Amino acid sequence: MHKPPKDADSRRAVTPVICYPNDTLYHPPLDQYRAARATAQETARVVVPPRTAQCFHLNAGSFFRITCPEGPQVGDLNLFSPRNLDEHFFSGKTRALYGSHISTGDRLWSSLPWLRPMATVIEDTLDWYGVDSFGGRVHDVIGTRCDPYTHHLLSGEDYHQTCHSNLTRALAEHLGKPLSEVEPHIHDVLNVFMCTGFTHDTGQYFMKASPARAGDYIEFFAEIDLLGVLSACPGGDCGAEHSSDAAQCHPLEVTIHAPAAGALDGWYSPSSNRYSRRHAPG
């Protein structure tokens, strides 16, 4: 609607600056984590059927692997501190620190004012994918989760198997609390196995069929005690839509492993952020 000014090209040519340079972040000891993982024994296995969600518990210092056991399937992951649901996964800050998608060596950070690592990615069988010609990458911290409210806004229809709905029901059942009490705790997710990006022309969030295949997985080290909730998205591989009873869907599987005694000697679970709260708001 407005003509560009004479200096439009020079304004566009300004060099960008990274908002949160992460070179000062502590680098997790991946070699130690992987050595400990080699000693670990399976302690639990949770199968998440299509279009549902399941909860699972982890002790700090254990490992959890999310696998596509049968075929490509996107998952939406929420993480909480089990003793304080107000401390939960902070996808926005994780995105600001690492970028729009995560992989090996990246950490999932918790919400303010705690802001500490909750889990670290130690292995990702889709790390080969990189960036495709559309700008697509895997395992995103962009999307908010499919939800019935946006679905109704765009289609006028009610759909009850969205990831937001699944996560809410699973957490409510796990805690023995009403849906209305639990729903505000459901937060923006890590979209496991989802291939997404932004269109070059309009900047719109897009999804495309996940490159995951049966046997692909992403594995994490639990930095603190965790309560996880994982939804097997009703969009399946999210190649066409993400709120659908028609899409082919597969289960997801969570396996939990505990390392041998002494395998993590010298490691300690991170404390809450050390910003002096004497100066905190309020």
Tens-digit pLDDT profile for residues 166-179 = 999 999 999 999 99
28: number of Cβ within 10 Å:
19
Give the model's confidence band at 10: pLDDT under 50 very low, under 70 low, under 90 confident, else very high. very high
Percentage, residues of the chain above pLDDT 90:
95
Residue 213 has pLDDT above 70, yes or no: yes
Q: Are 79 and 119 a contacting pair, CB within 8 Å?
A: yes
Average pLDDT, whole number, for the chain? 96
Which element (helix H / strand E) includes 231?
strand 226-232
Q: How high is the pLDDT of residue 279?
A: 64
Which residue, 104, 80, 106, is CA-closest to 93?
A: 106
- What residue spans of 138-236 are helical by DSSP H? 148-155, 163-175, 179-182
Residue 278 has pLDDT above 90, yes or no: no
Q: Average pLDDT for residues 17-39, to the nearest whole number?
A: 96
- DSSP bridge partners of 114: none
Q: How high is the pLDDT of residue 276?
A: 74
Percentage, residues of the chain above pLDDT 70:
98
Q: What are the boundaries of each domain within the chain?
A: 40-261
- DSSP bridge partners of 226: 58
